Structure 1
Amino acid sequence: MNYQWYPGHMTKARRQMQEDLKLIDLMIELVDARVPAASRNPDIDELGKNKARLILLNKSDLADERGNDAWMEYFKGKGYSVVKVNSRSGAGMKAINSAVQEACKEKIERDRKRGILNRPVRAMVVGIPNVGKSTFINAYAGRACAKTGNKPGVTKGKQWIRLSKQLELLDTPGILWPKFEDQQVGLHLAMIGSINDEILNVEELALSVIDYLTAEYPGTLEKRFGFEGVTDRVEILGEIARVRGCLKKGNELDYEKAARLLMDDFRSGKLGRITLEKPE
């Protein structure tokens, strides 16, 4: 299956981000903890090379803990500050303020030497679509998204949201699409639901998930669906259909329905905590 993305506004988004970068101290990049490589846009490193960087491993509750730790080490090795978060539950949010201070300590020190104290760090949240930016901003800011109004030297109309005493967010967050030169990137994004299922062959996708789980998380499917002794990928999908009563007329197994059920269980964490990518 060929996985494709349709980046209709990518050039515009990139240009907007380049403009906005002049106004900020820190780039906060959200990635999906299950696919930290596939859920990044390679342009972000180029765009943010002169800025302090904080990576948030979002949805870390759905990824396995060993994977989270390995990716944290990997990103720290690249010089980024990293925090594991779950924007929906609020887990990890308390660690962000200190991570922001750590990421921006050179800027804060420069300000201090110039007699500027307690100026909030100005940040931009970036990330590919569906990685959880809005959920994160809302969770972190709480309901009171206090807009602090236009700042001197800031283009008219740009608004800043005060997230805390230490952090203000530019409310034009960057959205960039990943490049799909590597089909594995597309496959991984399809697996976690970042690509519309309507344009995918969901049975083929489910078989890819079965292949991965059988190799990397043996026993997961047997435990969840209560079958044993089946190793063929298509037969496993058939077992899921049989166990869950996914039947067509004439008691024929409904593989497509079983595939959708498996994908829902996989994406919602009902199969357990699963990481699809390991650091290089």
Structure 2
Amino acid sequence: MNINWYPGHMKKAKESIKKNLSLVDIVYEIVDARIPFSSQNPDIDNIIGQKPRLKILNKSDLANEKNNLEWKEYFKSNGISSVIVDSKKNKGLDDVINMTYLLTEEKRKSLSKKGIKNKPTRAMIIGIPNAGKSTLINSLSKRKGAKVGNKPGVTKGNQWIKIKGDLELLDTPGILWPKFSDKEVGLNLAFTGAIKDELLDLESLAIKLVDKLNSISVEYLEQRYRISVKDKSSYEIILEIGKKRGCIISGGEVDFNKAGNLILDEFRNGKIGRITLEFPD
């Protein structure tokens, strides 16, 4: 299947981030813990330069716990600070705050020597669609429904949101992404809902997801749907799941589209299990 996703306003969003970098002390880069590689922006190093960065592995409750720790160690070995977060349940938020102070300590000491005190520590948050940017902002600020831009260009002006103590968060048109050439990256983004379903062939995507899940462990589908996947194609597996779940149309045939959507939804909601789709080298 071909996945074409090239959000508009990318250039404008990138320019906005570069422009506002001088206003912040640290950048929060939020990624999906299930796909830490696929959901990170490959241009991030060039965009933020030497600015302190904290990678936030969000949606950790949907990813394998062991793999979360492996990714955290991987980033550490590459000189990148990271924290494991479940922003919906407010888990890991204290780690975000503590690491922010740690990574900006040098600058705060420098300001103190110059007699500048009580200056807020400011952070900027960037991330791709559906990585949980809005939820994280609301959780950190303890505000429900804080206005956040979901796509490039929708946030007008700079919106400073008080996080905790003397910490402030800058919400900008922070979603940017170049065309991706790696097929696996495109599929991983589609599996996790980062790409709108309207742009996809959902029947083919469901088959690809079943392929992917079985390549990691056949137990995921077997335990969730009480079936055997041995010697069955992904197409046959989806038909069997559809039959068991009552996805039937007139004539007693399985509604393949409905069955495929069911599997996609249950994966995205964590009902099939805590599943990480890609792993550190």
Shift of 1:115: 3.0
Query: Could you give the per-residue CA deviations for residues 143-201 of structure 1, whole angstroms, max 9, x where no partner exists?
Result: 2899xxxxxxxxxx634222112311123251112431112111000000111112211
Aligned position for 2:192: 192
Q: Does 1:238 align with 2:276?
A: no
Aligned position for 1:269: 270
Aligned position for 2:116: 116
Q: Does 1:225 align with 2:225?
A: yes
Shift of 1:105: 2.1
The answer to whether the Cα contact below 8 Å between 1:145 and 1:162 also exists between their aligned partners in 2 is no
Aligned position for 2:67: 67
Query: Aligned partners of 2:267, 2:182: CA distance in 1, in Å?
Result: 23
The answer to whether the Cα contact below 8 Å between 1:40 and 1:178 also exists between their aligned partners in 2 is no
The answer to whether the Cα contact below 8 Å between 2:28 and 2:126 also exists between their aligned partners in 1 is yes
Shift of 1:229: 5.4
Query: Aligned partners of 2:89, 2:241: CA distance in 1, in Å?
Result: 30
* Partner SS for 1:278: coil
Q: Which amino acid aligns with 1:275?
A: T
Map residues 209-224 of structure 1 onto 2, 5 A cutoff: 209-224=209-224
Aligned position for 2:2: 2
Structure 1 runs of 4+ aligned residues shifted over 6 Å read none
The 1:165–1:202 alpha-carbon spacing in structure 2 relative to 1, beyond 3 Å, is same
TM-score (norm 2): 0.91
The alignment-based identity, stated in percent, is 49
Aligned position for 2:132: 132
The 1:133–1:267 alpha-carbon spacing in structure 2 relative to 1, beyond 3 Å, is same
Aligned position for 1:40: 40
Query: Could you give the per-residue CA deviations for residues 12-59 of structure 1, whole angstroms, max 9, x where no partner exists?
Result: 001111100111110001000001111111122111121001111000
Aligned position for 1:56: 56
* Partner SS for 2:28: strand
The answer to whether the Cα contact below 8 Å between 1:230 and 1:236 also exists between their aligned partners in 2 is no
Query: Aligned partners of 2:229, 2:3: CA distance in 1, in Å?
Result: 32
Unaligned runs of 5+ in 1: 147-156
Query: Aligned partners of 1:165, 1:173: CA distance in 2, in Å?
Result: 25
* Partner SS for 2:27: strand
* Partner SS for 2:161: strand
* Partner SS for 1:249: coil
Shift of 1:245: 1.3
Of residues 32-41 and 196-205 in structure 1, the stretch that sits farther from structure 2 once superposed is 196-205
Q: Which amino acid aligns with 1:136?
A: L
Shift of 1:141: 0.2
The answer to whether the Cα contact below 8 Å between 2:247 and 2:258 also exists between their aligned partners in 1 is yes
Unaligned runs of 5+ in 2: 147-156
RMSD of the TM alignment (CA)? 2.0
The 1:255–1:53 alpha-carbon spacing in structure 2 relative to 1, beyond 3 Å, is same
Corresponding residue pairs, total? 272
Query: Aligned partners of 2:145, 2:184: CA distance in 1, in Å?
Result: 38
Query: Aligned partners of 2:203, 2:245: CA distance in 1, in Å?
Result: 16
The 1:66–1:178 alpha-carbon spacing in structure 2 relative to 1, beyond 3 Å, is farther
Shift of 1:10: 0.2
Query: Could you give the per-residue CA deviations for residues 132-151 of structure 1, whole angstroms, max 9, x where no partner exists?
Result: 111111111012899xxxxx
Map residues 85-124 of structure 1 onto 2, 5 A cutoff: 85-124=85-124
Of residues 76-85 and 35-44 in structure 1, the stretch that sits farther from structure 2 once superposed is 76-85
Q: Which amino acid aligns with 2:274?
A: R
The 1:6–1:35 alpha-carbon spacing in structure 2 relative to 1, beyond 3 Å, is same
* Partner SS for 2:56: strand
* Partner SS for 1:175: coil
Of residues 196-205 and 133-142 in structure 1, the stretch that sits farther from structure 2 once superposed is 196-205
Query: Aligned partners of 1:277, 1:66: CA distance in 2, in Å?
Result: 13
Shift of 1:210: 1.1
